Structure 1
Amino acid sequence: MSIKKEKIPIVRFRDFSEPWIKNQLSEIAEFSKGRGYSKKDLQSHGTPIILYGRLYTNYESEISNVETYANLEENSVVSEGGEVIIPASGESADDISRASCVIDRGIILGGDLNIVRPREYLNSLFIAITLSNGSQQRELSKRAQGKSVVHLHNSDLKAVKLFYPSYEEQSAIGSLFRTLDDLLASYKDNLANYQSLKATMLSKMFPKAGKTIPEIRLERFEGEWEEKCIGEIADIVRGASPRPIQDPKWFDSNSEIGWLRISDVTSQNGRIHSLEQKISKLGQEKTRVLTEPHLLLSIAATVGKPVVNYVKTGVHDGFLIFMNPKFDREFMFQWLEMFREKWNRYGQPGSQVNLNSDIVKNQKILIPCMEEQKAIGAYFSNLDNLIVAHQEKISQLETLKKKLLQDMFI
């Protein structure tokens, strides 16, 4: 028996005004299960197949590209296009409270998949999205049963109550989220490409061990790079911390001097443009205060991470400061990024790396002329700006998508 309770979402396309209808899923869909197959049945060619694990490792609300294959058996369950699939088991209720729409015909649907075939007046992508978010997703989580392994049966799915609008509005909503997902995928692909390019160029634009020129060099530059100890091209000093650090007298929210913490380094990837915690005048007497940008090196927690402060900063004893540098700051920042993993030689396997000012001072480095340093620094700075721009765009799109998922469904 239909429930048919009417409601409307907070955010809606302008063209639609009719109230949404609420029905039990059993009233508006047919149910079945996938059959057979596991990872050991996968091979390099054959019939495309979806196993339930894909919904955990590579979740998409709409599956259109399947690159796993298996032999088609006589009793295989094969998609007709438009199915909504939901895991039948997982490690947690949240794991299995997600649904995907299968776009294409001819795809094997493996065992441990619940299969929902919506009626013709329902859009499969809309159903997949609404089951994976909001009140429907919470209801799926509540119905999941088990401890070490959680199960979700078709009988559980049938009892789920679903709000839906007209088919046209469902399609418009599905199209919007498809566009958002395509944009996110594009930005993430570009981000991965830029990050890969940077890693490659860091390995090739600085000389390898035993070499005095890099494998890849910017135009117009030639000649061997010069070997120096880092202590020859900067005065290396350690930051300082007031003790005990938990004492509130060291901090003042009205101070203009920030207090640099490891969490700031992590969240801003070493480029410090803001500091939430501020250090008091009394605390400033117990630390090293930088009023201009400087290159720093983390020697605690995120060991070997280079840092530049672009705001007034109090530097604690978990950092080294490069004072009076005879190098281009951006060039050295990128060299330290390239060299970061090599500091691990100063720690025992499984133990904390122990860096100090003497180790850093005595570390040898090959450097080119200042003009080439600036050119290399500018090249990597531009790459970093592209990476940050893509990360920010991804964050904005994910925030927008999350907000729309909250407000466009009931």
Structure 2
Amino acid sequence: MVPNKEIKKLTDLTSLITKGSTPTTYGYQFVDESKGEATFIGAYNCSFDGVAKMDTKKWITSEANEMLKRSKLAYEDSVLCIVGNTIGSSFMVEQSILPANINQNVALIRPVKEKVFPPYLKYAIRSPFVQWQVIQEASTQAQPSLSLKQVGDFKIFSPPLPEQRKIAKILSTWDKAISTTERLIDNSKQQKKALMQQLLTGAHTQRKRLLDDSGKPFEGEWEEKRLSELGDISSGGTPSTKQPEYWDGDINWVTPTDITKQDSIYIESTARLVSLDGIKNSSAKLLPKGTLLVCTRATIGEMAIASHEMSTNQGFKNIVPNENTNIEFVYYLLNFYKHKLISKASGSTFLELSKSAFEGLHFHIPKFQEQQKISAVLLNADQETVLLEQQLADLKQEKKALMQQLLTGKRRVKVDDEAVA
């Protein structure tokens, strides 16, 4: 049981809680970084993982900064909490983003350092305990937002300062691991992008050639081919919704939404199922495992490979590969040249790529064995990213569980060593 004296309101631990404002567009303006005097912080700069998203920056002129800085200047070690839009997210002000002002969707919380350790306060505001309070208070508003009084009334677990420092140190270690993994994911994606550039494009004298099974680089020109030469291409269809027996069968029926929802190269399941009768009595087709499903309406160029027999609606052109085509190679090739698909689309209401235009797209294609080697390299690159993304998800989940324990007093830390009691 946490002693009542260790549960305190933010107003008991801070010297100031204030909102920002936006400079008038008359006479004051947002400018680019080279002319700006100060960064202008809003909800767009704050995420629920407590990291300042400074890739999205706004700058204000020196005149606007002077107008606001009387009470709206962010100071180092202050904590910013979003009170409009993405309410409840927060981060601590660091030297790297100063000088900075805040807009009306941000509350600046200035901690009394003799009572609360600033990094601990940052974590405490993001704790499940406080976020539950955020939800309760926000639900009383027609438009989700928080008043300064509501922010000041938030209660946090406030152990002695040495324990606060130890908790903040423990959680910052998890933050560093998360940040490192995120950088590894970015690097992995950049490396894959570079691989695709090297393996799929360029003149034959510049293109990177992989080694064949004998250990020698592949040789020979890549042959220019139309997509229609790579396999059988068909469109999809939609069974009549007036016939219940056509639906809720055991055949996955793919729509563009199913494709855009997933991250994997292979699609396993769909939101809706159709019956064999539904396929037989519509323009939909039963497609074999290994078919490349390519969106050619609205979200043009999104695609996935069927992991088993499936069907699609009419928003697709589907490639069943022939014996000379490695479908994973075609997947990566069309992903890299997605702009080429979009450029051939037309339509006044929404863009659509016709079957004839799709079949007529042409690309330089290597022999089957080289296709296999290229797709294997790119599949490995994808798998590395998938593993890193799973590690990231695990780290975030473990940190969330740790915050639940440490920031509510359910689990106490020993100040004299690294152990958790």
TM-score tier by shorter-chain length is 0.7 to 0.9
Asked if residue 171 in structure 1 is aligned to residue 168 in structure 2, the reply is no
- Report the Cα distance in structure 1 between the residues aligned to 2:335 and 2:285, rounded to whole angstroms: 24
Are the equivalent residues in 2 in contact too, given 1:145–1:152 (CA < 8 A)? no
Q: CA deviation at 1:405?
A: 4.7
**Given the alignment, which residue of 196, 212, 216 partners 2:208?**
216
- Letter in structure 2 aligned against 1:218: L
Q: Secondary structure at the match of 1:288?
A: coil
Q: Secondary structure at the match of 2:351?
A: coil
Q: Which residue matches 1:240?
A: 237
Asked if residue 52 in structure 1 is aligned to residue 41 in structure 2, the reply is yes
CA 1:177 to 1:264, structure 2 compared with 1: closer, same or farther past 3 Å?
A: farther
| Gap regions ≥5 residues in structure 1 | 1-6, 9-17
Q: Which residue matches 1:251?
A: 247
Q: CA deviation at 1:308?
A: 0.6
Are the equivalent residues in 1 in contact too, given 2:78–2:108 (CA < 8 A)? no
| Gap regions ≥5 residues in structure 2 | 24-28, 212-216, 409-421
Q: Which residue matches 1:375?
A: 373
Are the equivalent residues in 2 in contact too, given 1:327–1:370 (CA < 8 A)? yes
- Report the Cα distance in structure 1 between the residues aligned to 2:389 and 2:238, rounded to whole angstroms: 33
Are the equivalent residues in 2 in contact too, given 1:78–1:106 (CA < 8 A)? no
1:97-246 alignment, distance < 5 Å: 97-102=88-93, 108=99, 110=101, 114-137=108-131, 139=133, 142=137, 152-153=147-148, 157-208=151-202, 211=203, 215-219=207-211, 220-244=217-241
Equivalenced residues, count: 382
Q: Secondary structure at the match of 1:358?
A: helix
Q: State TM-score, norm by structure 2.
A: 0.73
Are the equivalent residues in 1 in contact too, given 2:345–2:354 (CA < 8 A)? no
Q: Secondary structure at the match of 1:23?
A: strand
- Report the Cα distance in structure 2 between the residues aligned to 1:24 and 1:58, rounded to whole angstroms: 23
Q: CA deviation at 1:351?
A: 5.1
Q: State TM-score, norm by structure 1.
A: 0.74
- Letter in structure 1 aligned against 2:171: F
Q: CA deviation at 1:128?
A: 1.6
Q: CA deviation at 1:56?
A: 3.2
Are the equivalent residues in 1 in contact too, given 2:129–2:404 (CA < 8 A)? no
Are the equivalent residues in 1 in contact too, given 2:260–2:302 (CA < 8 A)? no
Q: Secondary structure at the match of 1:380?
A: helix
- Report the Cα distance in structure 1 between the residues aligned to 2:365 and 2:172, rounded to whole angstroms: 49
Are the equivalent residues in 2 in contact too, given 1:24–1:161 (CA < 8 A)? yes
Q: Which residue matches 2:382?
A: 384
- Report the Cα distance in structure 2 between the residues aligned to 1:221 and 1:215, rounded to whole angstroms: 11
Q: CA deviation at 1:337?
A: 0.7
CA 1:26 to 1:232, structure 2 compared with 1: closer, same or farther past 3 Å?
A: closer
1:295-374 alignment, distance < 5 Å: 295-325=292-322, 326-348=324-346, 352-374=350-372
Are the equivalent residues in 1 in contact too, given 2:17–2:152 (CA < 8 A)? no
Are the equivalent residues in 1 in contact too, given 2:236–2:312 (CA < 8 A)? yes
CA 1:261 to 1:84, structure 2 compared with 1: closer, same or farther past 3 Å?
A: same
**Given the alignment, which residue of 36, 50, 55 partners 1:61?**
50
Q: CA deviation at 1:284?
A: 4.2
- Report the Cα distance in structure 2 between the residues aligned to 1:357 and 1:334, rounded to whole angstroms: 20
CA 1:327 to 1:152, structure 2 compared with 1: closer, same or farther past 3 Å?
A: same
Q: Which residue matches 1:274?
A: 269
- Please report the RMSD computed on the Cα atoms of aligned residues, expressed in angstroms: 4.2
Are the equivalent residues in 1 in contact too, given 2:298–2:352 (CA < 8 A)? no
Are the equivalent residues in 1 in contact too, given 2:346–2:353 (CA < 8 A)? no
Q: What are the Cα deviations for residues 43-68 of structure 1, in whole angstroms up to 9, with x where unaligned?
A: 66999x76433x632546377x9999
CA 1:265 to 1:151, structure 2 compared with 1: closer, same or farther past 3 Å?
A: closer
- Letter in structure 1 aligned against 2:297: A
Q: CA deviation at 1:188?
A: 1.9
- Report the Cα distance in structure 2 between the residues aligned to 1:143 and 1:302, rounded to whole angstroms: 35
- Letter in structure 1 aligned against 2:319: F
Q: What are the Cα deviations for residues 356-387 of structure 1, in whole angstroms up to 9, with x where unaligned?
A: 33222222221112221111111111111122
Q: Which residue matches 1:285?
A: 280
Q: Secondary structure at the match of 1:290?
A: coil
Q: Secondary structure at the match of 2:337?
A: helix
Q: Which residue matches 1:260?
A: 254
Q: Secondary structure at the match of 2:248?
A: coil
- Letter in structure 1 aligned against 2:368: M
Aligned sequence identity (%): 20
- Report the Cα distance in structure 2 between the residues aligned to 1:133 and 1:387, rounded to whole angstroms: 29
- Report the Cα distance in structure 1 between the residues aligned to 2:299 and 2:350, rounded to whole angstroms: 10
